[in-house]
Amino acid sequence: MDTDGSRSARAALVAALDVVGLAPSERFDRIVRIAREVFDVPLSYINLLDDTLLHTLTQNIAGEPTSGPVEWSFCQLTVQRPGPTVVRDTLDDPRTVHLPGVTSRGIRFYAGVPLTMPGELTIGSLCLMDVRPREFSPQDEAALIDLGRWTEQALAKGLQHDRLLEVVEALTPPPVHVPGWTLTGLSVPYGDLSGDVHDWTVADDAVTVTLADIMGKEQPAALLAAGLRAALRQHEDLTPVAAVAAVAPRMTEDLGRASAFATLFHSRLTPSTGRLDFVDAGHGLVVHLHADGTSEIRRSRDLPLGLHPQGVPFRPGSLVLEPGDALLVASDGALDLGDGTIDTLTDIGRTLRRAPSTSAFLETVRLRAAEHAEDDVTVLVLARDAA
């Protein structure tokens, strides 16, 4: 039951998170983007509630309201119970038939999961909406719960900025020489230590390149990062999709015990052809910089390790780096170097293009991260020499 006391405590915690009213954040936009694709719905929102108002952190349509009375919202139902709230047809449910979303926007389907912070205080919801009635299976509910966990982790970062991450330092891969290519990277911790992990290995005519971001708390995250790095190295002779499939069951088990998950970009380059095969598990922070000056952001359509449904194969991806092309991969802390949106990744790419060398670019990133970042920042550059 939502009492006056719980509403006041919720409002205080929402204020402490300091995310309401800010510019769109890629940390949250990425979650609802994946939710829309996974469930094939047109609308998905991350909403927070204070005493009287609902605030959405993720606009789906330009110009739509970002706040409104709690009593007008579907979210008021979701925060009343611990599990998912599913309304398969809003016109058949007396709780929703008179809501403005139904009468004015034509919303016919709703599914939401509550978002809970430390202390078991519910502060909002992650929800899906559609303009047609639809079914929602137990497997769908489980997947929505997992996405809610991811959202809670993203929100909780705002409460952890003043603490030192008690993690062991991720191993930094040694420099490698690949004729015709530049492969380099940098990790800047928020505090003394970093929770990100990046790695590369060279074998025959193949280069394996990895960047992972372990979402979790304190030392378990670092231990999981080291374990993931070691597990992938054991399977470096496999294709990326086969390697990730091989390590996913055990990593999912370990991540589940630690209440954590990992976004992962794992790839294999054939230097002679420029072909890059990859798996992107919930990462989605990859930009392909073409030699002609254009760029393309590669989006993820899979969930992170620890949230990805068991038995569902990861989707293989591929691209070709032509002479003069470069690939830039970053952890989500790099978004703090700009306005927090995905456009920051494009801006970092422009900085790389303008830099006199990759080492000068990395030094620029290091300085900006030290000044602006509120999270670990890792960037990885894979560049093919011009013809």
pLDDT for position 293: 93
Whether residue 366 lies inside any domain: the answer is: yes
Query: CATH number for the domain including 118?
Result: 3.30.450.40
pLDDT for position 162: 37
**pLDDT per residue over 89-108, tens digit each?**
999 999 999 999 999 999 99
Between CA 309 and CA 376 the distance in angstroms is 27
Query: CATH number for the domain including 238?
Result: 3.60.40.10
Q: pLDDT higher for 49 or 221?
A: 49
Between CA 78 and CA 96 the distance in angstroms is 12
Q: Are 111 and 130 in contact (CB under 8 A)?
A: no
Q: Are 77 and 42 in contact (CB under 8 A)?
A: no
**pLDDT per residue over 7-18, tens digit each?**
556 666 777 677
Does position 111 have pLDDT exceeding 90, yes or no? yes
Tell me which amino acid residue 360 is: A
Whether residue 301 lies inside any domain: the answer is: yes
Q: What is the largest CA-CA distance in the chain?
A: 68
Whether residue 168 lies inside any domain: the answer is: no
Whether residue 28 lies inside any domain: the answer is: yes
- Band of the pLDDT at 194, cuts 50, 70, 90? low
Same domain, 68 and 147: yes
Whether residue 176 lies inside any domain: the answer is: no
Same domain, 231 and 312: yes
Does position 217 have pLDDT exceeding 60, yes or no? no
Same domain, 15 and 97: yes
Whether residue 172 lies inside any domain: the answer is: no
**pLDDT per residue over 218-265, tens digit each?**
455 666 777 788 889 989 889 999 999 999 988 888 888 777 889 999
Same domain, 335 and 256: yes
pLDDT for position 325: 97
Same domain, 152 and 185: no
Determine the structural domain holding residue 13 and report its residue range: 4-160
Cα 309 from chain centre: 16
Between CA 321 and CA 387 the distance in angstroms is 12
Whether residue 150 lies inside any domain: the answer is: yes
Whether residue 171 lies inside any domain: the answer is: no
Task: With both helix axes pointing from N to C terminus, report the angle between 358-372 and 343-354 in degrees, rounded to the nearest 10.
Answer: 140
Same domain, 142 and 221: no
pLDDT for position 8: 54
Between CA 87 and CA 27 the distance in angstroms is 27
Same domain, 201 and 329: yes
SS3 state at 343: helix
pLDDT for position 195: 67
Structural domains counted in the chain: 2
Same domain, 63 and 104: yes
Same domain, 185 and 334: yes
What is the residue-averaged pLDDT of the chain?
Answer: 85
Q: End of a domain among 104, 126, 160?
A: 160
Per-residue pLDDT averaged across 269-285, rounded?
95
Per-residue pLDDT averaged across 204-211, rounded?
92
pLDDT for position 91: 95
Same domain, 329 and 232: yes
- 3-state SS, one letter per residue, for 102-160: HHCCCCCEEEEEEEEECCCEEEEEEEEEECCCCCCCHHHHHHHHHHHHHHHHHHHHHHH
**pLDDT per residue over 131-188, tens digit each?**
999 999 999 999 999 999 999 888 876 555 433 333 334 457 888 899 999 999 988 8
In the numeric block, which tokens belong to residue 57?
């952190």
pLDDT for position 245: 93
Same domain, 330 and 277: yes
Same domain, 155 and 79: yes
Placement of tokens 């405590």 in the chain:
9
